Amino acid sequence: MSKSKLKILHLVPYNPVNPSFGGALRVYHVLKHLLANYDVTIAGFGTKEQEELLVEEFPELKGQTLFIDHRYDGLNRELAKLKTVFMNKSSWRIVTESSEFEEKIDQLFQKEQFDLSISEFPVMEMYSSKHNVKRIVNCHNVEYDNFRRMTIASNPLRRWFYKHQAKIFFHEETHTLNRQDALLVTSERDIQELERTVPDTPKYLVPNGVDTEFFTPKENVTNPHSLVFVGMMQYLPNVDGIEFFLEEVFPLVLEKYPDCKVTIIGKNPPESVTSLKSENVEFTGFVDDTRPYIDKAAVYIVPLRMGGGTRLKVMEAMAMKKAVVSTSIGCEGIDVSHGENILIEDQPKDFANAICTLFENYELRNRLKDNGYKLVHQKYDWKSVCSEIDTAIKHLFSTEHEKPAQAPEQVTIA
């Protein structure tokens, strides 16, 4: 079967038009690659205006989109967190379920003969599971592992909630992934975890990437003692990371460099972090373009202590020739080396010392910038990253795979 004849249904939980966070960026670039090589219909949740913008961005999608305006932000998401305590479903599944969308997808399958469905995240696969089609899930994270890591949250109620969610996600996710024909996975660590819980489903490494034509260096540093962080501030790993940095790391940097300033870019930062604002700490909220802010900073920080997958923010910083200081988790899944293209420190004092070292050691800073820039251009440009999707599809249609009905019973979540 040739690429041009292969008909793919791309199932998405949100419209990737104008992507402003990591998940949307991955969906956007996967879609862009699929459209260049296959006959694609995209279906998911989004407004009519967003659907029109998507077709404007990708004219080849005209007549091949199916979106419903199913809101699952704000109050609906908070209500789902309450419902999940009493239901044997994850909060994400609760907010993503739609009988209207299910009916429209069923009608679509009656009209069209799809060869393959690609679901963004396991939760969207429920809409293709009952149809006779080969199935791939694009795993942005191992979701149950992501929630398991969140159990280090300081609030006892949150710790209980994330432990509860990790168990529910484990059963939902392993059941779903075990019945797929193939999985796209972002990191070697995630592959190792899924080899334990989903051993019989083929896995293909498709790491997150960066648009190296968009993120380009300009080197207009305005303050030699300046830092920048970029991340959606509704996401707990980002919130926890910034609280950790501002409370435990930044005071140590200020002892040596009292003029140091940190700019934190991200939508809807909670009061728990904005209360830490000072003349040295700026919160921008959402910005249309992060590049001018990144460009002005001397050092890019990634102080994350939880989360999964791979961080697009690290690769974007490297593409702009920024020296990066990260925790081990912050740069997990990326082929980086401490002292060669990044500095990796987990303890507050060590993280602060790494920042101060980069303020002082221009030779080291330039080496990290140059090597990081080379790394992302060689290994993490979206164009090359997405080519592994073709490998997965080629294998899928050259070999028949059996789909196990459920997750192995002997595997348990720690």
- The structural domains of the chain, with segments of one domain joined by +, span 3-206+386-396, 226-379
- Residue 6 has a pLDDT of 93
- Residue 303 has a pLDDT of 96
- Residue 184 has a pLDDT of 97
Rounded to an integer, the average pLDDT of 383-394 is: 92
CA distance 75 to 115: 37
Q: Where is average pLDDT lowest: 12-16, 161-165, 210-214? A: 161-165
* 131 pLDDT higher than 70: yes
The CATH code for residues 226-379 is 3.40.50.2000
Which of the four pLDDT bands, split at 50, 70 and 90, describes residue 77? Answer: low
Whether the CA torsion 239, 233, 22, 40 is positive or negative: it is positive
Which of the four pLDDT bands, split at 50, 70 and 90, describes residue 412? Answer: very low
- Residue 102 has a pLDDT of 95
* 411 pLDDT higher than 60: no
- Residue 309 has a pLDDT of 62
Q: Where is average pLDDT lowest: 224-228, 244-248, 384-388? A: 384-388
Rounded to an integer, the average pLDDT of 328-340 is: 93
- Residue 156 has a pLDDT of 85
Which of the four pLDDT bands, split at 50, 70 and 90, describes residue 227? Answer: very high
Q: Do the domains spanning 3-206+386-396 and 226-379 agree at the CATH topology level?
A: yes
Rounded to an integer, the average pLDDT of 85-104 is: 87
* 10 pLDDT higher than 90: yes
* 161 pLDDT higher than 90: no
Edge-to-edge strands of the sheet including 299-302?
281-285, 261-265, 226-230, 299-302, 323-326, 343-344
Give the residues across from 281 on adjacent strands.
Answer: 262, 278
Which residues does 30 contact at the CB level (< 8 Å), separation at least 6? 10, 118, 120, 138, 184, 206, 386, 389
75 C-beta neighbours (distance < 10 Å), count: 9
Which residues does 229 contact at the CB level (< 8 Å), separation at least 6? 241, 242, 245, 262, 263, 264, 265, 266, 300, 301, 302, 303
CA distance 109 to 125: 14
- Residue 3 has a pLDDT of 46
* 393 pLDDT higher than 90: yes
CA distance 265 to 66: 33
CA distance 230 to 285: 10
- Residue 94 has a pLDDT of 87
Which of the four pLDDT bands, split at 50, 70 and 90, describes residue 400? Answer: low
Q: With CA atoms as reference, report the closest residue to 45 among 9, 96, 94.
A: 96
Which of the four pLDDT bands, split at 50, 70 and 90, describes residue 76? Answer: low
* 406 pLDDT higher than 70: no
* 85 pLDDT higher than 80: no
- Residue 78 has a pLDDT of 66
Whether the CA torsion 264, 268, 273, 278 is positive or negative: it is positive
- Residue 92 has a pLDDT of 82
Average pLDDT of every residue of the chain: 89
- Residue 407 has a pLDDT of 43
- Residue 319 has a pLDDT of 96
CATH C-level class of 3-206+386-396: alpha beta
* 4 pLDDT higher than 60: no
* 2 pLDDT higher than 50: no
